[in-house]
Structure 1
């Protein structure tokens, strides 16, 4: 796979300027570089699809994938951080089409920007290409220590490239978060991001599923030699395996830990949040796109907080009475 370097003078490189707004008074500036011809083709397809049905961009990208030759574009942040992504991946090419100044998961960004001066280790679970691992370890968010946990072998090459492009300032763990450590699982990586998932049984695995070993959050914390006094922030975006991951975090959830997890809009029973409230007995806070933090006392309120069944919504939980609990409860009270 050939990478398009920022300094590559032999290719027709194009640049698209943008601004990424996270909080009042705080911005992340970026430019996107890549093949001018290929980026133009992706923009053209997006325009055609948007003006017709507004749907089917994924099919369009699959149709032109041979023309793009697995090319990469790169997001260049103002502080020197870089994030490479595949041009045919509609999940990430929004950086330069359709969404000027793309704000990806602005709710998480605003929360982490508030935590810039707090010392913690970051577990990026379901790291994908390493977006949050790049940002959390950057000057922008306070140079935190980060471990990117990703099950997909297909994604690993870009994740490693993003680590290397940023002075190897985060670690990579190619395993699947699960409630048991050291089990042989399978990862289905066929289709869009939302379709990716862990398969626990060989008999039920899709034909293209990849073998992967499991790891628990407790085992990961032991591997990183975290002490009881080390603060930990865990971002759980593991496509429906959040409860399983929480079951494997018995020791982690006894320390000063903040869990950021997704509860998808199409789950009208709010399974993960009910587990956190009813089984763990932990407080839950909703992260709004505008940066507001709201305490969730009753799962009934989730119907209002998750109106769109096509997207995921981010929530935060932590052990009652922990330092993170006092901190985020204070933010919610002020809001």
Structure 2
């Protein structure tokens, strides 16, 4: 699989900041230092400085150069989540609909816009949604929603924006918000109300702890043959979303980091999750899903340029 990327800059100062940031990153030895470098350097430059990243000729994705998450993963450690890119290519031409749920700033939304007839992106955080709208709001086949994916539509929940990283924002649970964290209210959407009846969609689900509720709200969509790309985090030894999925009738789970491989048990999934700081992406669908069968065939095609 090939991954090509082109970058452009918002200004000459942004180019300089980018070069300094990439150099500083090479000196960092811990995950925390990456964020400190990005934020510290960001205070020396305009907060408007940004890089525009195009992957494989897709729509541009704007990355603020004071963003420790995206500058690290999409720029310094490119390619970003190549296993998800492989799943998108395996589904290309096999379903008209891709749903990016927990879309963050729209990286996968912009990547999917050129591969599927229709893309739906959902993000709960108001500030992150604004960045999503900036990146993908004008793409003609993309529909955006500011909402939280959950079991039922139309409820109101509290959403926590952590000061540590926008990528860690989540629905507020039993733990209190930390110092510097902010909360906001958000309405909910169920996957069944996003995916039209009879459509087998490819659904990327990254909802930071609300996976079980989101899966419960996708029961009809999964019966219709939809396929989930979901995250099972390395710091969860119980493998909560995977355990829930494997407990459902006729549900199949697959690892996709090196091709595609069936995961018959929680022990098999747990054995793959060796990094407690990493979110691991898996594939799940009902056994009779034609889209799943087509994607398995797509993963198996040798030498295909992605």
| TM-score (ref. length: structure 2) | 0.86
Match of 2:200 among 216, 219, 231: 231
Please state whether the residue corresponding to 1:209 is helix, strand or coil. Answer: strand
Which sections of structure 2, spanning at least 5 residues, go unmatched? none
The match for 1:211 is 185
CA, structure 1 residues 295+130, in 2 after alignment: closer, same or farther (shift >3 Å)?
A: same
Given that residues 46 and 57 in structure 1 are in contact (C-alpha distance below 8 angstroms), is that contact kept between their aligned partners in structure 2? no
- 1:58 corresponds, among 32, 35, 43, to 35
| Candidates 215, 227, 241, aligned match of 1:272 | 241
Partner in structure 2 of residue 152 of structure 1: 125
In 1, the alpha carbon distance for the partners of 2:231 and 2:15 equals 31
Contact 2:14-2:51 at 8 Å conserved across structures: no
Q: Which residue of 2 aligns with 1:318?
A: 285
> How many residues get paired?
297
What is aligned with 1:250?
219
Number of the residue aligned with 1:282: 251
Partner of 1:294: 261
Contact 1:39 1:87 survives alignment (8 Å)? no
1:110 positional shift: 1.2
1:52 to partner: Cα distance: 5.5
Task: Specify the alignment match of 1:90 in structure 2.
Answer: 68
Residue 75 of structure 1 corresponds to which residue in structure 2? 53
Distance (Å, rounded) in 2 between the aligned partners of 1:303 and 1:85? 33
Gap change, CA 1:169 and 1:71, over 3 Å in 2 = farther
Instruction: Give per-residue Cα distances to partners, 1:63-121, cap 9 Å, x unaligned.
Output: 3434332333211356462111211112222478533xx11110011121122221321
Question: Superposed, which structure 2 residues align to 1:23-34 within 5 Å?
Answer: 23=1, 26-34=2-10
Encode CA deviations 1:18-57: one digit per residue, 9 max, x unaligned: xxxxx1xx54442232333234335424534542544412
Change in CA separation of 1:52 and 1:134 when aligned onto 2, cut-off 3 Å: closer
Larger Rg: 1
Q: Distance in 2 between matches of 1:96 and 1:68?
A: 21
- 2:84 corresponds, among 108, 118, 128, to 108
Matched position secondary structure for 1:74: strand
1:195 paired to 2:168:
yes
User: Structure 1's 95 and 204: CA in aligned 2 closer, same or farther, altered over 3 A?
Assistant: closer
